[in-house]
């Protein structure tokens, strides 16, 4: 009887040692759950990768889809800028495509036409193309309370070019008719 009790105690100790020393079923269960979690994460990453690959596939061999969308948007904004500078071909192309004259509303419509590009990226692209560094300097000067001439001089361009840029800023909605910054004009200075 004593031998049986000792054998049962030894067996119980061995079983306890096997289960709790890192080689038993508790550790196996823990590792199995980690493996399952990693398999699920791997599957999620594969699906995400396939989605991204389908979105970044080549279109006509030159651009990937997101780049092509951004390039088309940039082309339209450059047309607006060129139309405001006097290009008749850019003006007629925009009027034919959008059915309205070049204005702030047209810029808004062009930005709204591309749904697959994020709004901050579209606005940033518009600011860089339509305003640029000269326009930003003029806006900064006007925001500080300087006169238009002083703002143009501070931007480092001749008055004729500065006035042309100011007209462009007014027609695209960065300045109002009294040369006060609009919300868009203020947003440019925050970038």
Backbone angles phi, psi at 75, to 5 degrees: -60, -40
Boundaries of every domain in the chain: 68-190
Pair of tokens at residue 23: 């080689």
Model pLDDT for residues 35-94, shown as the tens digit of each residue: 988 888 888 777 777 666 665 555 444 445 667 778 888 888 899 888 888 888 888 888
pLDDT at 123: 84
Which of 189, 164, 166, 161 has the alpha carbon at shortest distance from 177? 166
pLDDT at 137: 92
Backbone angles phi, psi at 64, to 5 degrees: -80, 160
Residue 138: half-sphere exposure toward Cβ, Cα within 13 Å = 28
Which of 109, 139, 107 has the alpha carbon at shortest distance from 126? 107
Confidence check: pLDDT of 24 > 70: no
Largest CA distance in the chain: 113
Confidence of residue 98 (pLDDT cuts 50, 70, 90): confident
pLDDT at 61: 47
Q: Helix, strand, coil % (nearest 5) of the chain?
A: 75, 5, 20
pLDDT at 101: 84
Confidence of residue 138 (pLDDT cuts 50, 70, 90): very high
Which of 128, 112, 120 has the alpha carbon at shortest distance from 78? 128
């Amino acid at each position: 009887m004593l031998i049986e009790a000792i054998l049962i105690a030894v067996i119980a100790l061995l079983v306890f040692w096997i289960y709790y020393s890192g080689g038993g079923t508790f550790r196996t269960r823990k590792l199995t759950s980690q493996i399952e979690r990693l398999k699920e994460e791997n599957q999620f990453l594969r699906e995400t990768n396939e989605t991204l690959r389908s979105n970044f596939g080549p279109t006509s061999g030159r651009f990937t889809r997101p780049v092509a969308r951004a390039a088309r948007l940039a082309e339209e904004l450059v047309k607006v800028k060129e139309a405001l500078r006097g290009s008749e071909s850019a003006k007629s192309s925009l009027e034919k495509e959008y059915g309205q004259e070049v204005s702030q509303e047209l810029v808004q419509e062009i930005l709204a036409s591309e749904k697959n590009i994020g709004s901050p990226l579209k606005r940033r692209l518009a600011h860089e193309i339509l305003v640029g560094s000269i326009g930003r300097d003029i806006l900064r000067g006007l925001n500080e309370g300087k006169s238009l001439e002083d703002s143009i001089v501070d931007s480092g361009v001749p008055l004729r070019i500065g006035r042309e840029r100011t007209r462009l800023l007014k027609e695209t909605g960065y300045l109002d008719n009294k040369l006060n910054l609009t919300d868009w004009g203020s947003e440019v200075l925050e970038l």
